[in-house]
Amino acid sequence: MRMRRKRNLEPRMAACGAVLLARGRPCPNLKEAAQDFRARLDLAALFGGRPVELEVGCGNGGFIAELARRCPDVGFLALEVCDNVVLTAMERVLRENIPNVRFLNIPAELIPCYLEEGSVRRVYLNFSTPLPERNRARQRLTSPRFLALYRDVLAEGGEIVQKTDSEPFFDYSLEQFALCGFEVKETTRDLHASRWAADNIVTEYEAAFAAQGKPIFRAVAVKRGKI
Ligand SMILES: C[S@@+](CC[C@H](N)C(=O)[O-])C[C@H]1O[C@@H](n2cnc3c(N)ncnc32)[C@H](O)[C@@H]1O
């Protein structure tokens, strides 16, 4: 179902300027844009030298807001392609006075335009769209081209934390992690019944899937030194 466009979207986006670092414009050739455009962020200045973590596809921002509250000594970047959606996340962070979250309203394809190599210590992928159709495999957020982007921005020993409700997508992701220079650990096929449940922050999609009785899959993929 298509989401209705929010009222007064543009003035409300403008009012979130203090937490919005970048806004992608429609762009016919993302590859070219990524090659030609560099407006890299000064993360040390932004977050006072704190370690930085990135959520890709933050949705309404419930996860990143809670994580940022729990970890005040970490700087968080929340990336979301849809302006209509990221607006909710930004307004929440401003309303709740959470100081250590900033937003990138761009497609994940443009990560290298904004982030230096090795500048992030963790990437969160929460309930990325599984895209089961074969001809959409390239668009999955754990396909090799995206894993290469995360690998570049991750510091040595940095990691991806993935959660999903889709077992085929999970299996696909585990395979791609291993093929693309990551070592997989802390795998569970029922997060809510696992030893990681106590510290888990339930995202908006996760709450909906769990309410339907679906198990939640989770894995951590650690960047290996060499592929
Ligand atoms: C299924 S929702 C999950 C939202 C949230 N993480 C949660 O767990 O509740 C996936 C989100 O990823 C965003 N997304 C999908 N592809 C993206 C891309 N290439 N770059 C940035 N965001 C993307 C979508 O707009 C959507 O908000």
Q: Is 22 helix (H, G, I), strand (E, B) or coil?
A: strand
39-51 confidence digits (pLDDT tens): 889 999 999 999 9
Phi, psi of 224 (to 5 degrees): -90, 155
In 3-state terms, what secondary structure has residue 33?
Answer: helix
DSSP string, 143-182: SHHHHHHHHHHEEEEEEEEEEES-HHHHHHHHHHHHHTTE
Q: How far apart are CA 186 and CA 208, in angstroms?
A: 23
Enter the tokens of residue 68: 């940022």
Is the predicted pLDDT of residue 227 greater than 90, yes or no?
Answer: no
Tens digits of residue pLDDT in 108-130? 999 999 999 999 999 999 999 99
How do residues 60-79 score in pLDDT, each as one tens digit? Answer: 999 999 999 999 999 999 99
Residue from 54, 79, 80 to probe ligand 1 pocket by mutation (most atoms less than 8 Å from CB): 80
Confidence of residue 225 (pLDDT cuts 50, 70, 90): confident
Query: In sequence order, what are the beta bridge partners of 78?
Result: 55, 103
pLDDT digits over 3-22, tens only?
Answer: 789 999 999 999 999 999 99
Specify the pLDDT at position 39. Answer: 80
Instruction: For residue 49, report the distance from its CA to the centre of ligand 1, in Å.
Output: 28
CATH architecture of the domain with residue range 50-223: 3-Layer(aba) Sandwich (3.40)
Distance 205 CA to ligand 1 centre (A): 10
For residue 28, CA distances in Å to 32, 33, 55 come to: 9, 9, 24
pLDDT band at 95 (very low <50, low <70, confident <90, very high): very high
Beta bridge partners of 54: 77, 123
Tell me what pLDDT residue 190 has. 98
Residue 93 scores a pLDDT above 60? yes
Confidence of residue 36 (pLDDT cuts 50, 70, 90): low
**1, 2, 55, 56: residue to mutate for ligand 1 pocket, most atoms within 8 A of CB:** 56
Ligand 1 atom with minimal separation from the 163 CA: 8
List pLDDT tens digits, range 134-165.
999 999 999 999 999 999 999 999 999 999 99
C-beta 82 within 6 A of ligand 1: yes
What would the two tokens of residue 80 be? 């979301």
State phi, psi for 187 to the nearest 5 degrees.
-85, 135
**Do residues 43 and 52 touch, judged by C-beta distance below 8 A?**
yes
For 194-218, the pLDDT digits (tens) are 999 999 999 999 999 999 999 999 9
Rounded CA gap, 96 and 19, in Å? 13
Q: Where are the domains of the chain?
A: 50-223
CA distances from 198 to 91, 92, 187, 192, 194 (A): 28, 24, 16, 8, 8
In this structure, how many other beta carbons lie within 10 angstroms of the beta carbon of residue 7? Answer: 7
- DSSP character at residue 189: S
25 pLDDT higher than 70: no
Minimal-distance CA residue to ligand 1 atom 15:
57
